[in-house]
Structure formats: structure tokens, C-alpha cells
Amino acid sequence: MKALVTGAAGFIGSHVVEALGAAGHEVTGLDLRVPAHDATSEAAHLPGRARPALGEVRLVTGDVRHPAVLDRALDGVDLVVHQAAKVGLGVDVADLPDYASVNVYGTAVLLAAMARSGVGRLVLASSMVVYGEGAYDCGEHGRVRPGPRTREDLAGGVFEPRCPRCGAELTSATIAEDAPPDPRNAYASTKLAQEHLAANWARETGGTAVALRYHNVYGPRMPRDTPYSGVAAIFRSALEAGRAPCVFEDGRQRRDFVHVRDVAEANVAAARARTVPGELAAYNVASGRPHTIGEMAGALAAERNGPEPVVTGEYRLGDVRHIVATPDRAARDLGFRARTGFTEGMREFATAPLG
């Protein structure tokens, strides 16, 4: 198939370009960034690091919010793999307009352009952040979805969410795709809005739409430490600078770290998926083998021979405690299972080049 990858020069997008190319697709990349070594933009090539041994990839340089750029990029395309987005937790509410503009408006412009060009397949980069807090079981009340943790609890070192009905301690459980969404920050709200818009587009056009809810993606070319970076990049950057990773809360919060090459393979699987036309199908993209933030910090520090992580007890109000997914639906419908194990993945990431 002929695929357009938006955000093609980014961390995940560049791996998706490679994986689609290796699977035999003809790839066009769209990105804001002009490749460092070639400023001619149109029909230029992705940076060498983005496509080892893949041959040439057509790159259109421009903004996903510009209809004319999209019309050009979509010429002859059968499938769009939409990775372009403003990511991360951001700094504060001053970021809201940018998140809404790039993620929500940008996706709306893209979907309208796809309808104009008759492109009937979409793979959307979504996120586990649409769930908000993970799933929990209360001994008394069964499956519950606790609201945000209070400042008082966090400041007092009470990190585990409580049962919203009786206040009792809870056991963390795995979350599946049919859990009701509960976005807790601007980024999460825009990812959910993207899913809704994609579902609207699918219904209106009869198109096929797959949303991949990425869990904590890490691996080579991950962006360095910024207010928009995930925790793996923050720890990796700290260690590189000779500083100890600062582990918030008590370090026992759990996440599912999934390697970027597995995420790229999930996109390849989604590109050929036979899901129901006219509907959006959502899938967790996760390893199914969660680890604590403390374990992740320890693994990276050990690979780099220190310094040892420090558990600081700090907290961020917008953070959720545990978010652990079941990857079974993607295995069943897409034939996708993550292959890179935590130990080998972190060993590579400890010294891999960052973006």
C-alpha cells in the first residue's frame, strides 16, 4: 500500500516509517521539520538516522493543519498513519491552545483532506492517557474507577487511590479497551478528541479507522528531557549527565513500558487490519508485562553503572498511580504482540542515541 506517515521525523513516526518500508509499503512522510542535512524540503529524504537501508522516502515538509499541504501529501495514498501530535504533560494551561490546535484541529483538517482525496484507511496514534486512572478492585464494591487523588493524600504520602464508595484500599487491575475514558489532562483530552473525530470520519465515509493506545513508549531516538518528555527519557538524560534519576511518589507506581520498535510493528499490523469499516477500533499497544517506575530507574542506572536512583516522595497532581493494560485485543484482532522484553529493551535504551 501507499502510506502517508504524519510526524515522520519524530521519535515514533521515524520508526513507523522504517517498519512500513520494511513491510513493503511505499511511504510518504509529512513533518514540520526539515531534515538537517537537506533543506530542500519537498521530495527530500528523511534524515539518514530515520531510515537505515530503506531506500528513499518521499518527505513533504509542512504543517498537518494546512489543507494545501495535505492535498499534496495525500496524492496517490491509500492509508494514513497519523503520528503528528503535541505530546507530553506540558507545563501549564498556557499550553492548552497549542494542544487543541495541533492535535484536535490538525486531525480535523487531516480527516477532511482524506475525505476529499478518497483515502479510506486511518491508523491513529492514541494513548493510554484516555483512560485516566487504571482499573481497581475494592474488596467490598468490586471493580471501581477512582477519581483524581487529593493533594492532601499525596502530600501525606498516601499514593494509592481509594475506593470512591467506601475509601478502602484497592487492588490494581488490568484495563481493557472498553473501559470508559476519563482524560485527566489537556493532552489526554486531545487524544480522546482525536479518537472521536476519527470515529465520526469513519461513520460518515465508511472508512476503516484503528486507534492504537500506546502505553509508555521508549527506545532509540526518544526525545531528551523536556517538560513534554516521558519518564524514561527524563531518567536516561539524568544518568547521562551524571545525575541520579529522581523517582516520584514511592516509586511503586506501575506502567507498561513498550519498545518503540514494537509500537512500529503494531502500526504495520493495524495498516493491514480487517476491522469493521465505518467504525473506529481501539487497541492497547502494551507489552502486557508492567513494571514499577522504581524498577525502570534501577534498570537504567544499573546498565549505566549509576548513580543510584533517589526516591523523592514528590508528586504531580495530574499523574495517575497505576495504568496497566491487557494487550489481548490487539493480539486477537491485529495479530500483534510486543516482542522486546523489559531487560533487553532497557539495556539497549541505557546507551541508545536520544532524539
Name which of 230 and 298 has its Cβ closer to ligand UD1: 230
- Is residue 299 within the footprint of ligand UD1 (CB under 6 A)? no
Instruction: Report the DSSP beta bridge partners of residue 211.
Output: 124, 282
Please give the radius of gyration of the chain, using alpha carbons only, rounded to the nearest integer: 20
Figure out which of the listed residues 3, 27, 231, 260 binds ligand UD1, where binding follows CB under 6 A.
Answer: 231
Q: What angle do CA 337, 220, 298 make, to 5 degrees?
A: 85
Name which of 58 and 218 has its Cβ closer to ligand UD1: 218
Binding mask 177-206 for ligand UD1 (x = CB under 6 A): ----------x-------------------
Figure out which of the listed residues 4, 217, 239, 338 binds ligand UD1, where binding follows CB under 6 A.
Answer: 217
Residue pointed to by grid coordinates 460518515: 204
Q: How many CB atoms sit inside 10 A of residue 167's CB?
A: 9
Number of shown-chain residues binding ligand UD1 (CB under 6 A): 24
Q: What angle do CA 228, 229, 235 make, to 5 degrees?
A: 145
Figure out which of the listed residues 23, 109, 246, 352 binds ligand UD1, where binding follows CB under 6 A.
Answer: 246
In whole angstroms, the minimum distance from the beta carbon of 46 to ligand UD1 comes to 23
- Is residue 322 within the footprint of ligand UD1 (CB under 6 A)? no
- Contact range with ligand UD1 by CB under 6 A, out of 114-122, 167-175, 199-207, 215-223: 215-223
In whole angstroms, the minimum distance from the beta carbon of 228 to ligand UD1 comes to 6
In whole angstroms, the minimum distance from the beta carbon of 332 to ligand UD1 comes to 22
Q: CB–CB of 104/197 below 8 Å?
A: yes
Q: Where are the beta strands (DSSP E) in the chain?
A: 2-6, 26-31, 58-61, 79-82, 121-127, 135-138, 142-144, 171-173, 208-214, 216-218, 246-247, 254-255, 257-259, 280-285, 291-292, 310-311
Grid cell digits, residue 121: 484507511
Grid cell digits, residue 294: 522504581
Figure out which of the listed residues 44, 202, 293, 299 binds ligand UD1, where binding follows CB under 6 A.
Answer: 293
Binding mask 111-130 for ligand UD1 (x = CB under 6 A): ----------------xxx-
In whole angstroms, the minimum distance from the beta carbon of 231 to ligand UD1 comes to 4
CA distance 210 to 281: 5
Per-residue DSSP letter, 95: G
Residues lying near ligand UD1 in the complex (CB under 6 A) are found at: 87-89, 127-129, 187, 214-217, 229-231, 234, 246-249, 253, 255, 293, 316, 319
